[in-house]
Amino acid sequence: MTQEIAVVGSPEFTTGFRLAGVRRFEDVSPDEKPDHLDDAVERTFEDDQVGIIVMHEDDLQHLSRGVREQVEESVEPVVVTLGGSGAGSGGLREQIKRAIGIDLMDED
């Protein structure tokens, strides 16, 4: 089973990933976020071919509570957030720790 990367966010955010070869994406323009971001994330979660979902961290604040919890707790697919102020679901280290269950950088 092939696991693909999907990107959800504004066209400006997804464009770089599309140019890099990511074929699965959901564009949600900034003025549509309150109404359509939840739907885009849920459609991506339903796609069995997607193993990693990439989102901009600032977009988490536009998700409904239920969808945000799904994003923050998901192990499969793994949700990776990039950019933003860092106040969302934690840094990349925390996301990796949550996804695989161990802290690879643990110094103990």
Domains: count for the chain = 1
- What pLDDT shows up at residue 101? 64
Is residue 40, in this structure, part of any structural domain at all?
Answer: yes
- Pairwise CA distance, residues 8 & 62, whole Å: 12
Work out the percent of the chain whose per-residue pLDDT is above 90: 54
- We report the CATH number of the domain holding residue 36 as 3.40.50.10580
| pLDDT tens track for 5-37 | 999 999 999 999 999 999 999 999 988 887 899
Is residue 105, in this structure, part of any structural domain at all?
Answer: no
Does pTM top 0.85 for this prediction? no
Domain boundaries, position 82: 4-100
Q: What's the burial of 14, exposed, middle or buried (CB within 10 Å: 0-12/13-18/19+)?
A: buried
Closest to 77 in 3D by CA, of 49, 102, 38, 57: 49
Cα 23–chain centre separation: 15
Is residue 108, in this structure, part of any structural domain at all?
Answer: no
- Pairwise CA distance, residues 35 & 44, whole Å: 16
